[in-house]
Each structure stands twice: as structure tokens, then as C-alpha cells.
Amino acid sequence: MKPTAPANRRLSILFAVAMVVVLTICVTSNSSEGVNNQARKTAISYSAGQGTATGSSLRTELALTPPMGWNSWNAFKAKIDEQKIRQIADAMVDSGMKDAGYTYLVIDDGWMADSRDSNGNLVGDPNKFPSGMKAIGDYIHSKGLKFGIYEDRGHLTCQQLPGSFKHEQADMNTFASWGVDYIKLDSCFAENNGRLSTEDYTIYRNYITETGRPMVLSISDFGNGAWAWGGEDMAQLWRTSGDIYPWMDSVYYCADTSGGDQSIHPAFNGLWQFAGPGHWNDPDMLQVGNLKNDTENKAHFSLWCILAAPLMAGNDLTAMTEQVRQVLTSPEVIAVNQDVRGIQGYKVYDDGDREVYNKPLADGTTAVLLLNKGEKETDIEVSWDKIGLSGTQLVRDLWMRRSLGEFEDSFTAHNLGKHEHKMIKVGRPGSPLPTPVPMPLEKYTVTRQGETHLSDLYYIWKAGNAPAYNTTYGGDPIWIAGQTFNKGIGCKGKCAVMFKVDGHANRFRAIVAMDKSSKENAKGRFRVYNEDFFANKVLWDSREMTKDSPAKEIDIELKDVQCLMLVFDGKEVLGNWADARVISERD
Ligand code: GAL
């Protein structure tokens, strides 16, 4: 610990004068920006603003802080029944989970009978829920908890039980009549609906509103880009990842879909700018209690708390150890997650193994997570200039719930082993610290008339290999039939990438071909989609191409396309979208 300096001046004062300061945290250069870097380029501009993250256009009083509760899936899969759910409701209260803030008890897939009743209404499985779903809802409410339920927007759920497709209004009315407070709406089989995801979720949103009952809507689409196509207009939370599993690689992967560059261009530094009160990124439910040990459980919980992720416990609460109970109910760590300012924490350092996240809080302090994901024991430091502070600052350990004293310029967590971390709060109460400047619209949407090359826009969603910008995936110039292209998108293997065109583009043009580096028998396919995979609206399809196939020219009309998805599908081979651009004739 270093001696106290007399003046503790926040950098926010400086920001207020200078408006914008650029903090360069760690710089490497790489011309193909989509390719993952070990020590990655992270430049954060801070604004002088004191408000919350971007406002939601779905103005409700629901989920103003990330929803907290318990969901049956991670603990029991489809093996649920009314006795188990009642016991969980009892345990939520008796264990102190309810008092710690966990209010929603969500019954996931497997609750319903395998067919609807004679009126076409959903009914609970008579063997598992003989008293019916309203009765279990009443029991949940009698414990002072809220009732959540699972459905699917396809014709079947993921467990092949009746889905809500073509029963949307009736099902929302049924849920309201059962006293449901929270609906998790999954997406299995939704690709057969013939609708965009935005159309689907708007239908549900409107029917929910018509019931007059406030019900949180949780989009479960395995992270297919709801933040990109406007999930906040329809729902209070949306998945950013595929399913989470009870091991740390999966926990870290899911965290990185929200806090890192697994699902969005690295320049965004995660999805923080798409979250805020009433609209949250959801890296899936908790596996706390299902992981190997206390170190893993705590690292997982701290990550979800700093990411302002929904906290839906997924362990068997009736068999929870005291150690796990203490993790899930840790008050000062939960307070970071539930902070009313609603800023999603963002990375301020990441060298591949060591990560530092920062989450400015409503009271003027800031929460910092220093996490060792690597194999080797290590120290991790955060200097105050990376988190908008300077001078000497108070540091509090949020797990130990005690002050660690005052620190000048920086704090170092020493000897952190694999999966170990420190979760601290830095600073003194005062006016809220500034947040980084969100990515300006013109950097990721079509905002002007005429041509916009897609490689001049940061992609808003991706799955599979990250694309390279203006080169092949291997970093070479894009070359097709004797011509070199300065602009384009280079792909390898499976590579799906979404650009936000916001209905402003009238045409899409590109030339596609397998890269000349491909082996003789290499095969690949290029497809252009309107919106996500569930919308299943293919606008153009190259069919199978080989290295010898002549390049194909794309020139297609776009009508009201909000998000344009380019998909290359090959086996370890390279394919190029040369000169990929949209043309806008509108203002
Ligand atoms: C998956 C979903 C899981 C769980 C499961 C039920 O699609 O991601 O969270 O709900 O379906 O079948």
C-alpha cells in the first residue's frame, strides 16, 4: 500500500473540461481487424456524460436492473414436476436467496403436456403437474416470488413439446391467466415460421401488452444478434450465446459473447453499449454450484455481476452447500450487478489470460474485476487512469466485505492462480464517473446515400471465424481472375457476419469466389440473408462453388432489410466477398 496523497481528484473533472479523452490501453497492429489478437487493440474514449447506458425504446418499468431468479434447466433439464418446483420455491425463501434479490422462479422446457387441450390451449403435463400450472403459479406467488415459464416461437419446443407458432395470442392470454410474470421464449424450429425474428418477437410483445399483465420477455435465440436487430424494442433481455455448460471454458466463452469479441467486432469492446435499464445482454443462466469448486463458482458469479447479466441461478437449491449459498447471496457482489445506473461492465485490459473489467456505479465509485483465466499464477494490476480515476483511492474487497485501504495510482492483485480473481470497488461516493463513448452510428450502420462498402462498417454480429477486412482471411490481397480488390471481406471455413443496414440500403453488390489459395477440390458456398438464421430469408445463394468455378456477381435488391447477413460455408477453405457494398438511394 502506498502513502496517501492529499488531493484525490477524479479524472471526471478533466473530462468535463476536455469532453473526450482517449485512453489507449494496449496497442498492437493488425491489418485484418477481424482476426483475434492475443494482446488486442483496445482504445476507449470516455465521454463526460453522467447518465445511464443507451435508453430502451420499449419503455416499461420491468427489469430496470438485471432480472434475478432461478431457472430449472441447468439443474434438472426436462425432469421437473410440481413437487420439485414447490421445494425449490421453499428453498428460495429459506436459503435467503429471495432476500438476496432472486425473485423469478422460471419453469423451463418440459412442463407441458405433449398436446394442447381440445380448445387448442396449452396445458401442463398431467403426470408432472397434476394440479395444473395456475396452481403452481399460485404457490410460487404465495411465497412472495414471481412466476416464470418457458415457451418456444417455433411449432415445437426444443424438447419437441407444443410450441406457440400460430397460437401466439392464445398462449399469451393463457400465461396471463395463470399469473405468469416472466416468459422465456426459445427459438427451436423458428426457422420454419417464414417470419423475420423481429416480426416474431413483435407479435409476442404486442400480445403480451394486450393482456394488460406486465410480463418480462426473455429472448432465447442462442445469441443470434438480438442487440443488432432491435431486441430492446421487443424484450427486456436477450441471449448473447449458445447454451452454457458447467465448465469454465463454457463460462468464459459465454462471458465473451457479451463482454468480448466473440459475437461483435472487436472495436465495440463487447456489447456494453446495447445494455441498460430495461434491456440486458444475457450470456445465459448461472452454473454457480455446478462447477468444480469455490474458485470457479466465484469467478463465474463475479463475471456475471460485472457484466450486468441476468442472474438466473441454475443449481439444485434443495441440495446447495453453505459455500455455494454464500456465493449466490454475496450482498456486495450482487449490488454491483443490481446497480441502478445499469452500466454493463467493459474490459479495460485483456492479454488473453489476464482480464480487467470496469463497471462505473451510481454512487460515483466503480467496480473492478481482475481475473486470471490463464494456467500460471500471476499478478494483475489496474491503474486508476484506465478506470477514470487518479490520485489516491479507497479500495474495498467485495467478497471479503472489508476495506483494503487506500492505494495511489493503481491496485495490484497478487498471486492469482488459475480462475482466481479479485472483485473490488474503487473510489469514494460522489458524482458518477464517465462511461466510454458508445460506437458512433456511422461506424456500424448505413447512414449516407450512395455506396457504402461493408468493410467500412464494423460488423454487429458474427458466428464462426471472424472475417478479415479488405484482405483474404490469410491477410493477402483479394484477387479474382486477374483483378485485385482493395475492398471486401475475407472468410475462412464457417463464417457468418451481420451488418446493420437499417433499412437504408436498396441494393447489395459483390463478387464472390473461392480464394486462389484453396486446394483443387475445395468447396464452399456463399449466401446472403435478410436478418438472422431463424428468419431463414435467403436473398442470394451461390450454390456449391469450387476453386475452378468462375466468380459470381451479386446484384440484388434490398427491401426493408435491417440487418444483412453474409454467410460463407466451406471446410477450412477461404472464400472472398470482393467489393461487397450496399447502395442507398434514400437520405
Ligand atoms: C435451449 C435453451 C436452453 C433450454 C433448452 C430447453 O434451446 O437454450 O436454455 O431452455 O432449450 O429445451
Residue 519: all three cell numbers together: 486446394
Give residue 330 CA to ligand 1 midpoint distance, Å.
27
C-alpha to C-alpha distance for 464 and 162, rounded to whole angstroms: 31
**Could you tell me what percent of the chain has a pLDDT over 70?**
89
3-state secondary structure string across 37-86 = CCCCCEEEEECCCCCCCCCCCCCCCCCCCCCEEEECHHHHCCCCCHHHHH
Ligand 1, atom 6, residue with closest C-alpha: 109
186 as an active site residue: the answer is: yes
Question: Is the CB–ligand 1 distance for residue 80 below 6 Å?
Answer: no
In this prediction the pTM is 0.91
| Pairing assessment for the beta strands 237-239 and 216-219 based on DSSP bridges | parallel
User: Which is the closest atom of ligand 1 to the Cα of 158?
Assistant: 12
Question: Of 3-12, 87-96, 541-550, which gets the smallest average pLDDT?
Answer: 3-12
Question: Is the CB–ligand 1 distance for residue 159 below 6 Å?
Answer: yes
> What pLDDT does residue 35 have?
28
Query: Residue 249: CB partners within 8 Å, gap ≥ 6?
Result: none
The whole-number average pLDDT for the span 97-118 is 98
243 as an active site residue: the answer is: yes
- Mutate-to-test residue for ligand 1 from 114, 158, 245, highest number of ligand atoms within 8 A of CB: 158
Give residue 286 CA to ligand 1 midpoint distance, Å.
13
Ligand 1, atom 3, residue with closest C-alpha: 243
Q: What is the mean pLDDT of the chain?
A: 91
Query: Residue 407: CB partners within 8 Å, gap ≥ 6?
Result: 1, 2, 392, 393, 395
**Could you tell me what percent of the chain has a pLDDT over 90?**
87
Give residue 214 CA to ligand 1 midpoint distance, Å.
23
Report CA torsion sign: 142, 146, 152, 158: negative
Angle, alpha carbons 108-112-117 (nearest 5°):
150
The whole-number average pLDDT for the span 71-91 is 98
Cβ contact 545:574 at 8 Å = no
The whole-number average pLDDT for the span 61-67 is 96
Residue range 292-350, pLDDT digits in tens = 999 999 999 999 999 999 999 999 999 999 999 999 999 999 999 999 999 999 999 99
Ligand 1, atom 11, residue with closest C-alpha: 158
Please report which confidence band the pLDDT of residue 21 belongs to, taking 50, 70 and 90 as the band edges.
very low
Query: Residue 107: CB partners within 8 Å, gap ≥ 6?
Result: 72, 80, 85, 136, 148, 149, 150
DSSP-assigned states of every residue in 476-520: SPEEETTEEESSEEEEEEEEEEEEE-TT---EEEEEEEE-TTS-T
Q: Is the pLDDT of residue 464 over 80?
A: yes
Residue range 213-254, pLDDT digits in tens = 999 999 999 999 999 998 999 999 999 999 999 999 999 999
The whole-number average pLDDT for the span 431-453 is 95
User: Which is the closest atom of ligand 1 to the Cα of 77?
Assistant: 6
User: Which is the closest atom of ligand 1 to the Cα of 239?
Assistant: 8
Give residue 73 CA to ligand 1 midpoint distance, Å.
7
Question: Is the CB–ligand 1 distance for residue 470 below 6 Å?
Answer: no
Question: Is the CB–ligand 1 distance for residue 109 below 6 Å?
Answer: yes
| Pairing assessment for the beta strands 311-313 and 402-408 based on DSSP bridges | unpaired
Residue range 110-164, pLDDT digits in tens = 999 999 999 999 999 999 999 999 999 999 999 999 999 999 999 999 999 999 9
Taking the CA atoms of residue 484, residue 488, residue 494 and residue 498 in that order, the dihedral angle to the nearest 10 degrees is -170
The whole-number average pLDDT for the span 491-499 is 98
User: Which is the closest atom of ligand 1 to the Cα of 243?
Assistant: 8
Q: Is the pLDDT of residue 521 over 90?
A: no
Give residue 111 CA to ligand 1 midpoint distance, Å.
13
Report CA torsion sign: 249, 254, 260, 261: positive
Q: Is the pLDDT of residue 191 over 70?
A: yes
Ligand 1, atom 9, residue with closest C-alpha: 243
- Mutate-to-test residue for ligand 1 from 156, 220, 240, highest number of ligand atoms within 8 A of CB: 220
Please report which confidence band the pLDDT of residue 37 belongs to, taking 50, 70 and 90 as the band edges.
very low
**Per this entry, what is the length of the chain?**
587
* Neighbour tally for 120: CB within 10 Å: 12
Which of 255, 249, 287, 248 has its CA nearest to residue 270?
Answer: 255
> What pLDDT does residue 504 have?
86
Give residue 220 CA to ligand 1 midpoint distance, Å.
8
Give residue 67 CA to ligand 1 midpoint distance, Å.
18
Please report which confidence band the pLDDT of residue 44 belongs to, taking 50, 70 and 90 as the band edges.
low
Q: Tell me which of 186, 221, 282, 350 is the catalytic residue.
A: 186
> What pLDDT does residue 48 have?
41
Q: Tell me which of 138, 243, 353, 456 is the catalytic residue.
A: 243
Question: Is the CB–ligand 1 distance for residue 339 below 6 Å?
Answer: no
- Mutate-to-test residue for ligand 1 from 71, 107, 109, 189, highest number of ligand atoms within 8 A of CB: 109
| Residue entry with cell 469455490 | 294
Q: Is the pLDDT of residue 275 over 70?
A: yes
